[in-house]
Amino acid sequence: MKIRKLLRSSILPIYGYFFFAFVYAPILLIVVFSFNSNPVNMMIWEDFTFDWYKTIFGFTSAATESALYLDSTDQLYAAVKNSLVVALVTTAVATVFGTALALAIARFRFRFKPFYRALMFMPMIMPDILLGIALLIFFVSVGIELSVFTIIIGHCTFLVSYVFIVVSARIADMDEALEEASADLGANSWVTFRRVTLPMIMPGVVGGALLAFIISMDDLVITYFIAGVDSQTLPVFIYGMLRRGIKPEINAIATIMLLFSLIIASVGLYMRARKA
Amino acid sequence: MSPILSVKDATKRYSTPEGGTITALDGVSLDVQPNEFVTLLGPSGCGKTTLLRTISGFEDLEGGSIEIDGATVTHLPAHRRPVNTVFQRYALFPHLSIARNVAYSLEVAGLKRAEIGSRVGEMLELVGLDGFGDRKINQLSGGQQQRVALARSLVARPKILLLDEPLSALDKNLRQKMQQELKTLQEEVGIAFVFVTHDQEEALTMSDRVAVLSDGKIQQFGTPEDLYRRPRNEFVARFLGAGNLLGATVSECKDAGAIALLESGQVAHLPSTDAACGEKIKLLIRPEDVRMDCTKDAGALRFEGTVRQVLFVGTDYIVHIETDDGTELKATLRPRAEDRGAITAPGARITLFVQQEALHPVTSAKVA
C-alpha cells in the first residue's frame, strides 16, 4: 500500500516530468538558441536577436556580416523549393495509390492476398539506408540521372505503404454493408465510392496524406543517396551545412521547420477530432 | 395474377476455406404475388439470407433464374434492380443527415431538388419521423433508425421490399410493435415484402405466406396456418412451435383415408396421407389440442399417465405428462377452476384426450 502511494504521489510524476524534459528540452533549446546573438559559441547566451532569421531571409545585418556562415541564401531557397515540390508531388501520388491499394486489398477477392498485404508492409520495415542504396543502384543501372524526379520516385516507393496502412485501418472500421446499401439504392460503383466510401474513409486519407507529407519533407537518409548535385532537399542541405560546423542559422531554420510541422500536425489532429 | 417475383431453380454453392463446398441454395423455386407479405423462415445457415441476397443482386446465382415483374434480372447488378433492402443493422450512412439518407436513391437517380424534398417529406411522415430530417443518425434510437431504413428503401418505390432480419436488433416490446407497424406499412404502400427471419412467431404473425427453408431447400411454402396445422414433414412441424410427435405405423390405405396404429396400440383415423402401407410416420399433436374433458367423439385418443412437470404461464398451464406406456406428452391446458387441483401437483394421475381431427401425419424425411 505504502509503495503504491509513494509511486503515485512522487515517483510517477517525477518520471513523467523527466520523460517530457528529455523529449522536449533539446527542441526547446534549439528555439532558444535561434535567438542568441553569440556567433561563435551558441551555448553561451549573449543577447536576444532576430539576426539569424534575417540571414535566412536574405537580409544582411551588422552582426551577421562578420560571421556569415550561410554560403548563399539562394542555395537554401532552392533546397526549400525542392523539398516542397518533392513533398507535394509525393503526397499526391502516394495518397492516390495508397488509398487505391488499401481499397483493393480490403474489398476484392483474389489469390495470395495475405502475401500482397505483407508486401505493402515491407518498405516500412526495410532500413532506410538499404532502401537508399537499392534505389541508387537501380537508378544508376537503369540509366536515370539523379534529380528531383528520382527523389520523388524514391519517396513514393515507401510512402505509398504509409498511406496504405493508415487508410487500411480506417477501412477496417467501416461497415461494408454501407457500400451494399448504396448499390441497393441504385448507385453504381463510382457513385458509391464518391458518395459513401470516400467520405467515410476521408479522415484516414487526410491523415495518411499529412503523414506522407511530413515524412517526405523530413527524410534525409534515402534522399541523401538519390538526390542529384543540383537537387538537394532541405534536410540534405542542412546536413551539408553541419559538416562544416554547427552554425547559428541552423537553429533558425530548424525552428521554422518545427513551426511548419506543428501546423501540419495540428491540422491533421483537428480534422481527425472533427470527423470522429 | 402474374407473380411480381419468380425464382426458378436457384442454385448457389460456396467454397469453404477447408476446400469443401457448401450448398446454400439447392434448386429453390418461389413465386411471390404483388402485394404479398412473404417470409423466408429457417435456422441459421439454411440459405434464407443467401436467397434474399441473390434477389437483391449481392450474390450471383450459379444456376436458375430470377424474374422481377416479368423481366429477367438473374445477372443484373444490384444497382439496376427494382428492389430495395432493409439491412439487418440498417446500414444507414453516418455522414449524412436523416433527410439525406432517405433522399439518397432519388439523388442518385438525378431527380429534381423540389421533387426529392417533397417525396422525402412524405416518406418521413409515413414512418412517423417528420421533423427529424436534419438530425444525425447517431442521435436516433434503434427503433427510429429502423424507420429511417424503411423510409430510405421505400422512397424510390421499389417493386419489392427485401428485409433481412430487420427486427433482430430491437428489444422484445419494440419488436412486437414494429411487427404490427411493418404489416400496416406493407398494406399501406401496397408492394410485396420479402422478409427474412429465424423467429417462427414473427413469421406466423406478419406473413401472408411463409417459406420454411432448411439445407438450401424449401421444405414447405404456404400460409402460416397451413404450416402450423398441416406441416409436410417433421422439420417443419418442429420448427413452427412446440408439438408432440408420436410414432405410428400406417396399417391401411384407402382413397377415403388411412388408418395408423400408434405405438401404444391406439387407432388413428387419418383423412389422407402420402405414406404407403406399412410405413412408419409421426403423428403431430399440438399441445393446445390436448384436452382434459372427455369429448363426445368416441374415437378420441385417450392417454393415462402421471404429471411430471407443470409450468404456470398466466392463462394456461403447460403440463408435461408421462403416459403409462412411457410416451412423453406436452399439453397446454386451461382447466376449469374445480379441476385445477388435479393437474398442478407433479406426480398426480391424469387422463387426457385428443380428438381424431387434431391428428396430423408427418413424414420424417426432409425435402431432398
Q: Please indicate, yes or no, if residue B368 is contained in any of the structural domains.
A: no
Closest to A29 in 3D by CA, of A48, A42, A12: A42
Instruction: Count how many domains chain B has.
Output: 2
CB contact under 8 A, A185 and B94: no
Is residue B180 domain-shared with residue B251, that is, in the same domain? no
Q: Which helix (H) or strand (E) holds B268?
A: strand B267-270
Q: Which of A111, A170, A182, A185 to mutate to test the interface with B (most CBs of B within 10 A)?
A: A185
Q: Provide, as residue numbers in chain B, all residues whose Cβ is less than 8 Å from the Cβ of A111.
A: none
Q: Which three cell numbers stand for residue B9?
A: 431453380
Q: Which residue of B has its CA nearest to A189?
A: B79
Judgement on whether residues B200 and B273 belong to the same structural domain of the protein: no
- Neighbouring residues of B299: CB distance < 8 A, sequence distance ≥ 6: B267, B269, B356
Q: Are residues B202 and B277 in the same domain?
A: no
Work out whether the CA dihedral A190, B160, B23, A176 comes out positive or negative.
Answer: positive
Q: Do B24 and B125 belong to one domain?
A: yes
Query: Nearest-CA neighbor of B279 among B302, B254, B301, B249?
Result: B249
Q: How far apart (Å, rounded) are the C-alpha atoms in residues B232 and B219?
A: 8
Q: What is the pLDDT of residue A130?
A: 93
Q: Looking at the partner chain, which of A175, A177, A186 has a beta carbon nearest the beta carbon of B105?
A: A186
| Chain A nearest C-alpha distance from B322 (Å) | 50
Residues B166 and B128 in one domain: yes
Can you give the pLDDT at residue B324?
86
Rounded mean pLDDT of B328-338? 86
Question: What distance in Å separates residue A183's CA from the closest CA in chain B?
Answer: 5
pLDDT computed for residue B26 by the predictor:
92
Using the predicted structure, report yes or no on whether residue A70 has a pLDDT greater than 70. Answer: no
**Which residues does B116 contact at the CB level (< 8 Å), separation at least 6?**
B103, B106, B107
Q: How far is CA B155 from CA A58, B84, B104, B134, B151, in A?
A: 65, 9, 9, 17, 6
Q: Is-contact B247 B280, C-beta < 8 A?
A: yes
Does B225 lie in the same domain as B247?
no
Name every chain A residue with its beta carbon within 8 A of the beta carbon of B92. 181
- Do residues B79 and A183 lie in contact, with contact meaning Cβ atoms separated by under 8 Å? yes
Asked if B227 and B40 count as a contact pair (C-beta separation under 8 A), the reply is no
Asked whether the beta carbons of residue B91 and residue A178 sit closer than 8 angstroms, the reply is: yes
Contacts of B108 in chain A (CB under 8 A): 185-187, 191, 195
B148, B102 contact by CB (below 8 A): yes
Amino acid (1-letter code) at residue A109 = R
In this prediction, residue B249 has a pLDDT band, given cuts at 50, 70 and 90, of confident
Give a yes or no: residue B294 inside a domain.
Answer: no
B353 touches chain A (CB under 8 A): no
- Grid cell, residue A157, equals 516507393
Top mean pLDDT of A6-20, A231-245, B155-169, B247-261 is at B155-169
Specify whether B55 is located in the same domain as B197. Answer: yes
Interface check B235 vs A, CB under 8 A? no
Q: Is A181's CB within 8 Å of B89's CB?
A: no
Q: Name the DSSP letter for residue B318.
A: E
Residue B225: per-residue pLDDT? 93
How far is Cα of residue B249 from the mean position of the Cα atoms in its chain?
30
Label the pairing between strands B301-312 and B360-362. unpaired
Which pLDDT band holds residue B66 (cuts at 50, 70, 90)?
A: very high
Q: Which residue has the cell 495475405?
A: A114
Q: What angle do CA B51, B52, B53 make, to 5 degrees?
A: 90
B91 and A199 within 8 Å at the Cβ level: the answer is no
Give the percent of chain A with pLDDT over 70.
93
- Taking the Cβ of residue B310 and every Cβ of chain A, the question of whether any pair is shorter than 8 Å is answered with no
Contacts of B84 in chain A (CB under 8 A): 184-185
Q: Do B228 and B318 reside in the same domain of the chain?
A: no
The answer, for B166 touching chain A at a CB cutoff of 8 Å, is: no
Whether residues B186 and B207 share a domain: the answer is yes
Looking at B313-362, which runs of residues are DSSP E strands? 317-323, 328-333, 349-354, 360-362
Residue carrying the nine cell digits 433464374:
B65
Residue B122 has pLDDT above 80, yes or no: yes
Return the pLDDT at A274.
66
Other CB atoms closer than 10 Å to residue A122's CB: what's the count? 11
**Amino acid symbol at A159:** L
Task: Tell me: do B306 and B339 sit in the same domain.
Answer: yes
Q: B293 lies in a domain?
A: no
| Pairing, β B37-41 against β B192-197 | parallel
Instruction: State mean pLDDT over A105-133.
Output: 89
In a domain, B367, yes or no: no
Please give the ipTM for the structure prediction.
0.84
pLDDT in the model for residue A275:
56
Residues of chain A with C-beta less than 8 angstroms from the C-beta of B105: 185-187
* Domain final position from B208, B234, B260: B234
CB atoms within 10 A of CB A25: 10
- Taking each helix axis from N to C terminus, what angle separates A128-142 and A148-173, rounded to the nearest 10 degrees? 130
Q: Same domain, yes or no, for B263 and B218?
A: no
**What is the C-alpha separation between B53 and B87, in angstroms, rounded?**
11
Check if the beta carbon of residue A78 is closer than 8 Å to that of residue A188: no
| Separation in Å, CA of A159 to nearest CA in chain B | 28
A100 Cβ contact list (under 8 Å, min separation 6)? none
The residues, ordered by sequence, that sit 6+ positions from A272 with a Cβ below 8 Å of its Cβ are A203, A206, A207
Question: Are residues B196 and B48 in contact, defined by beta-carbon separation less than 8 angstroms?
Answer: yes
A248-275 and A234-242 helices, crossing angle to 10°: 150
Confidence of residue B312 (pLDDT cuts 50, 70, 90): confident
Between chain A and chain B, how many beta carbons pairs sit less than 8 Å apart? 61
Of the candidates A177, A188, A199, which has its C-beta nearest B91's C-beta? Answer: A177
Of B195, B215, B234, which residue constitutes the final position of a domain? Answer: B234
CATH of the domain at B224: 3.40.50.300
Compare all CA atoms of chain A with the CA of B100 and give the residue at the minimum distance: A195
Handedness of CA A84, A90, A96, A101 (dihedral sign): negative
| Residue B117 within any structural domain of the chain | yes
Are A200 and B94 in contact (CB < 8 Å)?
yes
A183 and B79 within 8 Å at the Cβ level: the answer is yes
Q: Cβ contact (<8 Å) for A186 and B79?
A: yes
My answer on whether B196 and B268 are in the same domain is no
Q: Do B108 and A187 touch (CB under 8 A)?
A: yes
Cell numbers 399417465 correspond to what residue?
A: B305
Provide, as residue numbers in chain B, all residues whose Cβ is less than 8 Å from the Cβ of A175.
Answer: 89, 91
B43 in any annotated domain: yes
Q: Which three cell numbers stand for residue B266?
A: 391406439
User: B179 pLDDT exceeds 70?
Assistant: yes
Q: Is B95 in the A-facing interface, judged by CB distances under 8 Å?
A: yes
Interface test with B, best of A175, A184, A195, A271 (most B CBs within 10 A): A184
- CATH number of the domain residue B263 falls in: 2.40.50.140
Cite the beta strand spans of B78-121 per DSSP E: 83-86
Nearest CA in chain B to A199: B95
Using the 3D structure, point to which of B193, B208, B234 is the last residue of a domain.
Answer: B234
CA distance to partner chain B, nearest, from residue A181 (Å): 6
DSSP letter string over A68-131?
---S-HHHHHHHHHHHHHHHHHHHHHHHHHHHHHHHHHHH---TTHHHHHHHHHHHHHS-HHHH
Radius of gyration, CA atoms only, chain A: 24
**Domain span at B89:** 5-234
